[in-house]
Amino acid sequence: MSLYFFRISSGRYSGAADQPYEFEDRAAAWTEMTEVCANLLGGIARGLKPNAEWRMELLDENKNPVFRVSLLGETVS
């Protein structure tokens, strides 16, 4: 089992978790991260401003990024 931390960048929930989460392996960590993102993205997307980014990262026990999911609102014209 390995320890991981969630970190959210942008918005009112910005910051890294103080408490680690324990997952059996990287695949289990990815599955949990995508489930958490799925639960949050509806609200995040409704509040996203043009040219803004929301990002969730899963950090290893040394707080180095392992996985990242990003939502980007872009103005293209």
- Domain ranges (residues) in the chain: 2-73
The pTM (predicted TM-score) of the whole model is 0.81
Res 47: pLDDT: 87
Are the C-beta atoms of residues 22 and 1 closer than 8 Å to each other?
yes
Mean pLDDT over all residues of the chain? 90
| % the chain with pLDDT above 90 | 65
Higher local confidence (pLDDT), 10 or 55: 55
Phi-psi region of 64 (alpha: psi -120 to 50; beta: other; left: phi over 0): beta
Q: Note the pLDDT tens digit of each residue in 9-46.
A: 876 567 778 899 999 999 999 999 999 999 988 888 89
Contacts of 48 (CB under 8 A, 6+ apart): 54, 71, 73
Rounded CA Rg of the chain: 13
